[in-house]
């Protein structure tokens, strides 16, 4: 790491107040060059507000921001950009139909010197290659972004930020939607940028990423509750600072598994790459699916739920009162009627109705429960939904507030409440803790315990092998569309999962 570190940015006694809410309170923070500065805290702790103050979206109510030792007011995002602040959000801001090079220089396409009205395409490709090489990213500038993986698209976002002569790169949950190998590559690029002198703010909920950071700032309720330098970063201590009390059970696993088979999947194939998958789920069991992104984990869930057509093989669900078409579900409607639930990997795009409140989102999949004489009984709907909102400890504001304004943890719990309302028997949970803080994760784990305690089954898909090992009873390892092994968790460890999940099967 570069020994010479310059103080780039400083927030001194900054407070930001919204009507009825003090988002950050008397907060001070220093950001140096050549440093990966981790920022961690529960949802609502003030991380996003700090980012928006530095990127010119908000101006502090009080306190001062300093740039290279000089006080400054960042009036808008364009000014922040001109000062070298680049923010890479969890939702990428790329144009899928354009090339890598066009996305890197979008809005700033170089022109020919003699003919300024003509875009210099050769110069765009040349400059893009220089930036990609600087980052150590092996990408063709002429590739269409839509054809790239999420991890590769993220690299394009980083390249775009550096092309604007940034000195501070703010990365908001950069590893939330990528797998273990992609995350490892991301960390290599982040460390490479720090060695080249960039200051980096790295926001994450993943505690296993603390090792990549030079220092960590822990936030709670808009205040700094702890700062730790490299070598003094202790995971348990960080968790306790975030939550405000000792978390004795990070993974509060209950054993509820029985010998009674609930779901049988027999030799299924799909056009989306599932190749002869077979497994069973017992009543009260958490059956984990481990594998890299693209291994077929999500596609297995989609096949069972009727999203992807099963071309061969069968599914059998105990106590299913619906007549299944050729021993499979041909539509999600059939699956839902038979008691199958799916919490999708991307809750914002295909899990929630973002313009509906929590009540509407809970009831939407089984409206017949609240229909009286052909008319929706809205009072009944609210009574039912409030029951689940209370039971799952969802914020009371979800009753009237659109779910787009809820935290990630509350959004996940709204979807789980929906399927509980539907009286589902099999819960397919695809990355249920992705992008949510440690406190919300523990609540999701406890909900899994509650589901299995009632004899229901859970198919648990996750990129976090530690939580898979902690919360599953058995794990199926997915590689190239196949389940290559099924093991009881007591007989395997993380090393075994990694070796099996990432080995290239013939």
351-397 tens-digit pLDDT: 888 889 999 999 998 888 888 888 888 898 889 889 988 888 888 88
Q: For residue 119, which phi and psi values (nearest 5 degrees)? A: -70, 135
Query: What pLDDT was estimated at residue 505?
Result: 43
Is it the case that residue 322 has pLDDT exceeding 80?
Answer: no
Is it the case that residue 2 has pLDDT exceeding 60?
Answer: no
Answer yes or no: same fold for 7-243 and 258-339+460-506: yes
Is it the case that residue 506 has pLDDT exceeding 50?
Answer: no
For residues 153 and 411, the answer to whether their CB atoms sit within 8 Å is no
For residues 194 and 37, the answer to whether their CB atoms sit within 8 Å is no
Is it the case that residue 327 has pLDDT exceeding 60?
Answer: yes
| Mean per-residue pLDDT of the chain | 87
For 83-109, the DSSP string reads TTEEEE-SS----TTSBHHHHHTTT--
pLDDT band at 345 (very low <50, low <70, confident <90, very high): confident
Is the entire prediction scored with pTM above 0.85?
no
The class (CATH top level) of 258-339+460-506 is alpha beta
- Mean pLDDT to the nearest integer, 189-203: 91
Query: What pLDDT was estimated at residue 418?
Result: 92
Q: Is 497 helix (H, G, I), strand (E, B) or coil?
A: helix
For residues 429 and 420, the answer to whether their CB atoms sit within 8 Å is no
Is it the case that residue 245 has pLDDT exceeding 70?
Answer: no
Is it the case that residue 312 has pLDDT exceeding 90?
Answer: yes
Query: What pLDDT was estimated at residue 246?
Result: 54
261-302 tens-digit pLDDT: 999 999 999 988 899 999 999 999 999 999 877 788 999 999
Q: What is the DSSP letter of 374?
A: T
Query: What pLDDT was estimated at residue 371?
Result: 86
Query: CB pairs under 8 A, 24+ apart, for 394-397?
Result: 394/358
For residues 241 and 235, the answer to whether their CB atoms sit within 8 Å is no
Query: What pLDDT was estimated at residue 83?
Result: 93
Query: What pLDDT was estimated at residue 169?
Result: 93
- Mean pLDDT to the nearest integer, 448-476: 93
Is it the case that residue 405 has pLDDT exceeding 90?
Answer: no
pLDDT band at 134 (very low <50, low <70, confident <90, very high): confident
Is it the case that residue 253 has pLDDT exceeding 80?
Answer: yes
15-39 tens-digit pLDDT: 999 877 788 999 999 999 999 999 9
Angle between helix 378-391 and helix 408-421 axes, rounded to 10 deg: 120
pLDDT band at 1 (very low <50, low <70, confident <90, very high): very low
Q: Is 342 helix (H, G, I), strand (E, B) or coil?
A: strand
Q: How many CB atoms lie within 10 A of CB 251?
A: 12
Q: How far apart are CA 296 and CA 106, in angstroms?
A: 34
For residues 176 and 435, the answer to whether their CB atoms sit within 8 Å is yes
CA nearest to 223, candidates 85, 52, 16, 71:
16
- Domain extent listing, the chain: 7-243, 258-339+460-506
Q: How far apart are CA 65 and CA 68, in angstroms?
A: 10
Topology of the domain covering 7-243: Rossmann fold (3.40.50)
pLDDT band at 3 (very low <50, low <70, confident <90, very high): low
- Mean pLDDT to the nearest integer, 254-260: 94
Q: What is the DSSP letter of 296?
A: S
CA distances (Å), origin 273, targets 97, 178, 312: 25, 20, 12
Q: How far apart are CA 187 and CA 181, in angstroms?
A: 10
Angle between helix 235-243 and helix 438-453 axes, rounded to 10 deg: 90
209-223 tens-digit pLDDT: 888 899 999 888 888
Query: What pLDDT was estimated at residue 204?
Result: 85
Q: What is the DSSP letter of 119?
A: B
Q: How many CB atoms lie within 10 A of CB 248?
A: 6
Burial of residue 455, with CB atoms counted within 10 A of its CB: 0-12 exposed, 13-18 middle, 19 or more buried: middle
Query: What pLDDT was estimated at residue 503?
Result: 64
Query: What pLDDT was estimated at residue 474?
Result: 97
């Amino acid at each position: 790491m570069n020994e010479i570190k310059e103080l780039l940015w400083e927030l001194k006694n900054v407070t930001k107040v919204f009507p009825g809410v003090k988002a950050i309170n008397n907060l001070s923070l220093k950001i140096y060059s050549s440093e990966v500065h981790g920022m961690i805290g529960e949802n609502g702790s003030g991380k996003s507000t700090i980012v928006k103050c530095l990127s010119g979206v908000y101006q502090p109510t009080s306190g001062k921001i300093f740039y290279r030792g000089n006080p400054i007011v960042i009036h808008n995002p364009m000014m922040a950009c001109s000062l070298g602040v680049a923010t890479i959000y969890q939702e990428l801001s790329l144009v899928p139909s354009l090339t890598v090079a066009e996305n890197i220089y979008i809005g700033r396409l170089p022109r020919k010197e003699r003919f300024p009205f003509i875009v210099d395409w050769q110069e765009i490709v040349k400059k893009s290659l220089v930036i990609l090489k600087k980052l150590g990213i092996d990408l063709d500038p002429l590739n269409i972004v839509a054809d790239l993986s999420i991890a590769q698209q993220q690299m394009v976002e980083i390249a775009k930020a550096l092309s604007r002569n940034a000195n501070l790169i703010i990365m908001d949950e950069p590893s939330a939607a990528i797998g273990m190998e992609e995350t490892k590559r991301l960390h290599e690029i982040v460390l490479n940028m720090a060695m080249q002198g960039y200051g980096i703010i790295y926001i994450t909920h993943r505690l296993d990423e603390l090792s990549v950071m030079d220092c960590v700032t822990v936030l709670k309720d808009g205040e700094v509750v702890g700062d730790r330098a490299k070598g003094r970063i202790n995971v348990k201590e960080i968790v306790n600072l975030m939550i405000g009390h000792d978390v004795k059970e990070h993974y509060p696993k209950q054993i509820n598994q029985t010998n009674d088979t609930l779901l049988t999947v027999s030799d299924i194939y799909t056009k989306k790459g599932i190749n002869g998958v077979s497994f069973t789920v017992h009543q009260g069991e958490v059956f984990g699916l481990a594998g890299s992104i693209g291994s077929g984990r999500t596609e297995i869930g989609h096949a069972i739920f009727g999203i992807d057509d099963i071309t061969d093989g069968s599914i059998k669900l105990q106590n299913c009162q619906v007549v299944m078409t050729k021993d499979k579900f041909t539509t999600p409607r059939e699956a839902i009627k038979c008691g199958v639930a799916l919490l999708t990997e991307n809750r914002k795009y295909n899990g929630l109705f973002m313009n509906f409140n929590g009540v509407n989102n809970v009831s939407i999949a089984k409206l017949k429960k609240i229909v009286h004489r052909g008319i929706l009984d809205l009072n009944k709907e609210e009574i039912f939904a409030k029951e689940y909102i209370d039971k799952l400890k969802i914020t009371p504001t979800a009753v009237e507030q659109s779910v787009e304004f809820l935290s990630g943890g509350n959004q996940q719990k709204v979807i789980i409440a929906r399927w509980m309302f539907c009286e589902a028997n099999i819960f397919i949970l695809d990355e249920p803790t992705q992008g949510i803080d440690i406190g919300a994760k523990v609540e999701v784990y406890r909900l899994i315990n509650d589901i299995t305690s009632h004899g229901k089954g859970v198919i648990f898909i996750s990129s976090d092998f530690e939580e898979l090992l902690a919360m599953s009873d058995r794990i199926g390892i997915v590689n190239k569309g196949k389940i290559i092994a099924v093991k009881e968790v007591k007989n395997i460890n993380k090393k075994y999962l990694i070796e099996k999940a990432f080995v290239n099967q013939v």
